[in-house]
Amino acid sequence: MTIVRDKLFIGGRWVAPAGTGLIDVIDPSDASVYAQIPEGVAADAEAAVAAAHTAFDGWSRTAPAERANYIERIAAGVEARREELAEAIAHEVGMPLKLAGRFQVAGPVNSWKHYAKLAREFQWEEQVGHSVVVREPVGVVGAITPWNFPLNQVTLKVAPALAAGCTVVLKPSEVAPINAFILAEIIEAAGLPAGVFNLVSGYGPVVGEVLASDRRVDMVSFTGSTRAGRRVAELAAATVKKVALELGGKSASIVLDDADLATAVKGTVSSCLLNSGQTCSAHTRMLVPRAKLGEAAKLAADAASAFKVGPAFAEDSKLGPLVSEVQQARVIGYIHRAIEEGAEVVTGGPDAAPPGPGFFVAPTVLVVEDRKATVAQEEIFGPVLVILPHDGDEDAIALANDTIYGLAGGVWAGSDEHAFAVARRLRTGQVDVNGAPWNPRAPFGGYRQSGLGRENGVYGLEEYLEYKAIQMPQKK
């Protein structure tokens, strides 16, 4: 049965949208219509901004401990509905259900709890000479979130913004929005004051552009493509609002000559294929010593072939579909172009996926000699690993840094010290040494065209704060 959401959450109430349009949410496992949501229009976005603007004064002056109490109730609500959220995301994004619970929901539960704790512990002011330096909320925040890790990215914007004392208007991705509607119900049940949190669904060029350009919005936080991020920054510049951007990546996994090759390849393939490769920080380029190129390609092919492709709710699926037919066509187009430009397909390929109706692409490993080849430079956002040869540490560092991006990366070496020395020289926001695990308290964000600002931990909270220096009279 198709889920129908016909109202938006504005000013503490579920209200009918100004327009009559509906957007179909497609289940990528079978191409069926999973849900329908309102196609919000500019008037809806403006009403939400007005509600957030009105609510800001009162919310910003609440004690941090009081804000923490609300956030704790939201955390409990998310945890209570974690199975429902995992199922919704499996339907929307296509990640296999067991993985969706682990990667798509568990993190947000912990993040909501963390920001409640941080609101209580954060140092909101300090004495600097004869000045009191105060940290205050930036104001009304427009949050525009993506479809690939939808609840996680919503959480990493909304939770710290609320903890900081900001009010929020959220535009979730129209591709994967139902999890955000569930979160809005949780926030409503938590009793958050009217207008502090608002949800408007719709398309980026309509709703998103209002949030980026409205003078009453003090900050816009966007996660998505670099192309769309440029547009957000362009619109925001007219009112000189604060901008946070988490954009694309073409992250390199560097395998040095003294690394354990089998372990490095297996770890890189796992990183590349998480969420069917639809992860901005995925290690999608593997740089290996030239003398070990053939061995590395064989190991990568074996590892990738072990990922069984199938629907999100099939028990044995390890790799779900891509999120949409458009995304599927885009990724297959990149593979065809790679072949045209001379890449060697060592497993997978454009025609290797199981038949539809779902939007499947087989895990694909390409060996590419040309460092300027399209697939060596552009973000594919699919289950495609590009292997490139390098000629030693210096060459590997130069190759890793040779993109417009700088979001993530990895270094594999015979010792942590060797890997760390190379990691220091990478122009990227995060680097994993010898397969080190994700740290949700460390800052996440990128250099260059991978974005501006940081999410996660205290660094994510600070994005939503301004400094105020209050000079006090000096005692005689």
Q: Which residues participate in catalysis according to the annotation?
A: 246, 280
Contact 308, 353 (CB under 8 A): no
Residue 60 CA to residue 67 CA, distance in Å, equals 9
Shortest CA distance to 141 belongs to which of 229, 73, 224, 60? Answer: 60
User: In whole angstroms, how far apart are CA 361 and each of 46, 354, 358, 423, 430?
Assistant: 40, 8, 10, 32, 28
Residues 6+ apart with CB under 8 A from 226: 247, 248, 379, 404, 405, 449, 450
Compute the half-sphere exposure of residue 157: CA atoms within 13 Å on the CB side of its CA: 30
Backbone φ and ψ of 393, nearest 5°: -55, -50
Determine the residue type at 275.
N
Distance of alpha carbon 236 from alpha carbon 243, whole angstroms: 7
Q: Which two tokens stand for residue 295?
A: 């061995």
Rounded alpha-carbon distances, angstroms, from residue 336 to 333, 340, 351, 384: 5, 6, 10, 12
- Decide: helix, strand or coil at residue 79: helix
Structure tokens, 229: 């991020």
Q: Which of 35, 43, 28, 48 is nearest to 5 (CA)?
A: 35
